Amino acid sequence: MRVGVVVAEVEVKVVEVEVEVGVRVVVEFETRIWF
């Protein structure tokens, strides 16, 4: 049970990091286009 919880927490953190990186890339990309 504990292993499953740890895996779930790691997956959530990975998703959060991917979203954060994705947002930064999009913002930088749009900024380069407009400015």
pLDDT tens figures, 1-35: 688 899 999 999 999 999 999 999 999 999 887 76
| pTM across the whole model | 0.58
How many independent structural domains does the chain possess?
1
Write b or e for each residue in 2-28: b if 16 or more Cβ atoms lie within 10 A of its Cβ, otherwise e: eeeeeeeeeeeeeeeeeeeeeeeeeee
Instruction: Give me the half-sphere count of Cα atoms (radius 13 Å) on the Cβ side of residue 30.
Output: 6
pLDDT of residue 1: 65
